[in-house]
Structure 1
Amino acid sequence: MSDPAAVSLSSLSSAIAGVVAQITPAIVSVHSHRSRASGFVWKSGLVVTADETLADEGEVSVRLASGEVVPATIAGRDHTTDIALLRLDTRTAAAVHLTREVPVLGSLSVVVAADRGTPTAALGLVSLVGERWRSLRGGEIDSRIELDVRMRHNHQGGLALDAAGKAIGMAVLGVRRVIVIPAATIDRVAGKLESHGRIARGYLGVGLQPVKLDNEGIGAMVMSVDSAGPSAAAGLRQGDVIVSWNGEKLAGVRTLLRRLGPESVGSIAEVAVRRAGEPALFKLTIGERPEA
């Protein structure tokens, strides 16, 4: 008579192996200058990978699941969300279907990646599920999903699967944890990279330095001004200290810069400053950060 526990474990093992086998045709290896990573076929002719692992120079090649190595060009990259889009011939590889479903806390998750063309898989748990958040670089991530799983550096860009085998997003290394860039973020950012080659970011045209204010608050001193930028057009000068933004006191320079996402371009901000100790108010139309 067979052991029920052994049967259950065998069934679970077979189920996991099945979902991994189903997804591996879409998994690729990415090789750029002195750097290797994983990726997946997002659409025909387009591969998504982790931007952090992609070299800034040199040629890029991709090894498909079939073993074929093809050259790739960078269609666009966004370091704030860690998403890069590569353009290449992937007609022989099926694109993956991403689900926007958010996994349940404590459920199983599998990260499927590639190591120099060889598929890899790692099993773990969904250790944190949260709401929309901003990365340290200011990128807007649609939901916070963290995994308790071991993952090598060159496995970044692989796919994270939920307990049902659905692809929930791209796995990348955070600080002491594995983070999933969810499907909603990938589709939004990769779609813009496909059509425009870049993600628009807000631009003030000033160099800022944090300073302590007399009331123990934080201000941002204008250290330099782009003469052709939005701040110069609004009337800001070097030496001005920004004390509030749209009526809210500053919490720091970094917090201010995080507000300059794609949605900020073209919007008007009310900026309160101290100029030579006297208050002044300006209306500033946020520009688009130059590509350079």
Structure 2
Amino acid sequence: MILVLAVLIVAAGVIIDRDTNEFTLQTAIGQTNDTLQTSEDFLHLERANRAFIDLVARTRPAVVQITTKTERARREESQRERLSPEDEKRFRDFFGDELFRRFFGERAPRNLNPEPVTGIGSGVIVSDDGYILTNNHVIERSDEITVTLPNEKEYPAELIGRDAAGTGVSGTDLALLKIDAEGLPTLPFGDSDQLEVGEWVIAIGTPLNLSQTVTRGIVSAKGRAGGHFSGIKYGNFIQTDAPINRGNSGGALINIRGELIGINTLIATGGFSTGNIGIGFAVPSKMAQQVLPQLIKHGKVERGWLGIGMKPVDSDLAKKLNFDAPRGAYVSGVSKNSPAEKAGIQRSDVIVEFNGETIQNPKHLMHVVAVTEIGKSVEVTVIRESNQEKRLTVKLGKRTEEAIAKLNAQLAETEDIRSEVKGLRQKLNELKAFAGLHVQNLTPAIVERYGYASDEKGVIVTQVEPGSIAEKKGIVPGSLIQEMEWTSIDNLETYSRLAERLTNEQKKQVLLYVKSPNEQGGGYVTIKIPTSDR
């Protein structure tokens, strides 16, 4: 009993004052809290905590809930309509028409009864007179849009403009709404380009049909492409682990200064999960700012057009260009009659600067071109052969589906030609050891140099490998091969085709008719083919 009492006394923090014979109850937890609350670390935490609370209080009023209604048709499906045409015929043949109708009924009438379908999303007030940014997929195909402010006031919203995802021309998935209100709280735009990975951010929205919800996280990455997860072409997303779920779309991503640095747009999910797994994406505020004026003015976004195919600058090319690290955009093709062609941009150029902005990579160039005013003349700096820097002036055109299709067709055609040339070169390289001979087509200059008649046909020997059988047989550069195995050689194509066929047939020796330079007539030469050539 005494032992139990001692344990209880220790646990409760009871001290016996021997002089007074009184019990003094000590609150150990209270002492710890008192100590903690006066410590420097706690004060730092408390200030940070209070800063977040104040930040949320300042920014929440500018984030709204968006409710949509869509009048979609609904009709009950009859039992009969659940049958495939094959099953219907089988049952009808078995039961007969009367019994079939009794069991399976008639097809449902086609006069459809509409039933509204509702949707929930979020939005951000960007002007005190009622302009609200959200995602296009939040309001797409909706017949009615309602905006609910954090103070529960509701307003019907008008769709001002949208930049739909999933097309070759557009792709930010942003939309702009307008409500009839004045003096609204707003979020100022921050510079998303200045964001750093690891920086604290706050997401505010209305996920899963809940009222306004605040979550916190960090910037996990920048410059994420959207095409892997959606049809968003111009995403260039900010990735965050601030929890974002369905319904957060169109909501605000805010930095610690209370500035809007992104519009929350989509999430990545894993397995059977459709909720947050710590990977969310937001359209950068800089991009939203760039499209906002066009959405207000035109209701859509018209993008600049250069008319080139692009590839990244790899480490080998960067080294050749004396770059410290890969940068710029390699021009892989130029569309005919495009702004780029008219400005003098050529295939194999490397664009390193556009309109005063240093180009990081092809995706970066695509974005800066897209947001540049159509018809504007801008200066483009390219690196050309021998590392020559050239400054060109290009007048931007308008990006259209037709222009994109034309460029893609030309690039595909060019790629086909390159593949053919590459294949031919490969074949020629494979044939270069054929009896030690390197050959090429006749040209007027070669004919004149070696004294052949202007109407001669064949292929000219440009090089004879040292120690080869051809060299031992007396064939020298400038010799003219006109026959192979009794077959006339008209040009390099004929020669290559015959050489390849004879190699595949594993010929041990080949008969050639060869003319020597600056000599009359010619003769037959038999050349043994080494095993390595076969």
State the TM-score, normalizing by the size of structure 1.
0.66
Letter in 2 for 1:179: F
For 1:199, what is the secondary structure of its paired residue?
A: coil
TM superposition shift of 1:117: 8.1
**May I ask how many residue pairs the two structures share in their alignment?**
230
Check conservation: 1:199, 1:262, Cα contact below 8 A: no
Distance 1:184 1:261, change over 3 A: closer
Instruction: Write the mapping of 1:1-292 to structure 2, written as runs, cut at 5 A.
Output: 1-3=34-36, 4=39, 5-33=41-69, 34-43=118-127, 44-79=129-164, 80-101=171-192, 102-114=194-206, 118-130=211-223, 135-136=226-227, 137=231, 139-141=233-235, 144-176=237-269, 177-200=279-302, 247=347, 265-266=397-398, 271=410
Query: Could you tell which deviates more after superposition, 188-197 or 162-171?
Result: 162-171
CA offsets per residue over residues 89-136 of structure 1, 9 Å max, x none?
131412221111432211211112236683310011111134xx6542
Letter in 1 for 2:119: S
Letter in 2 for 1:105: V
TM superposition shift of 1:278: 9.3
Check conservation: 1:99, 1:167, Cα contact below 8 A: yes
Check conservation: 2:225, 2:237, Cα contact below 8 A: no
1 or 2 for the larger relative contact order (CA 8 Å, sep ≥6)? 1
Distance 1:273 1:62, change over 3 A: closer
Q: Flag structure 2 segments of 5+ consecutive residues without an equivalent.
A: 1-33, 70-117, 165-170, 270-278, 306-335, 339-345, 349-362, 373-395, 419-534
Letter in 2 for 1:42: V
For 1:118, what is the secondary structure of its paired residue?
A: coil
Check conservation: 1:147, 1:178, Cα contact below 8 A: yes
TM superposition shift of 1:6: 3.6
Taking the aligned partners of 2:412 and 2:218, their CA distance within structure 1 comes to: 48
Distance 1:278 1:28, change over 3 A: closer
Letter in 2 for 1:171: N
RMSD: 3.6
Taking the aligned partners of 1:72 and 1:265, their CA distance within structure 2 comes to: 34
Taking the aligned partners of 1:7 and 1:272, their CA distance within structure 2 comes to: 63
Check conservation: 1:29, 1:117, Cα contact below 8 A: no
Letter in 1 for 2:125: V
More helix by share: 2
Check conservation: 1:32, 1:55, Cα contact below 8 A: no
TM superposition shift of 1:181: 1.2
CA offsets per residue over residues 175-194 of structure 1, 9 Å max, x none?
34211211111111121111
TM superposition shift of 1:37: 0.6
For 2:221, what is the secondary structure of its paired residue?
A: strand
Larger radius of gyration: 2
Taking the aligned partners of 2:203 and 2:412, their CA distance within structure 1 comes to: 49
Check conservation: 1:46, 1:90, Cα contact below 8 A: no
Letter in 2 for 1:108: W
Q: What is the percentage of aligned positions where both structures have the same residue? A: 20
TM superposition shift of 1:261: 5.3
Q: Which residue of 2 aligns with 1:290?
A: none
Distance 1:38 1:138, change over 3 A: closer
Check conservation: 2:157, 2:178, Cα contact below 8 A: yes
State the TM-score, normalizing by the size of structure 2.
0.38
Q: Flag structure 1 segments of 5+ consecutive residues without an equivalent.
A: 204-230, 235-245, 249-254, 280-292
CA offsets per residue over residues 119-172 of structure 1, 9 Å max, x none?
310011111134xx654235334x542111211210121111123332212122
TM superposition shift of 1:262: 6.9
Letter in 1 for 2:216: L
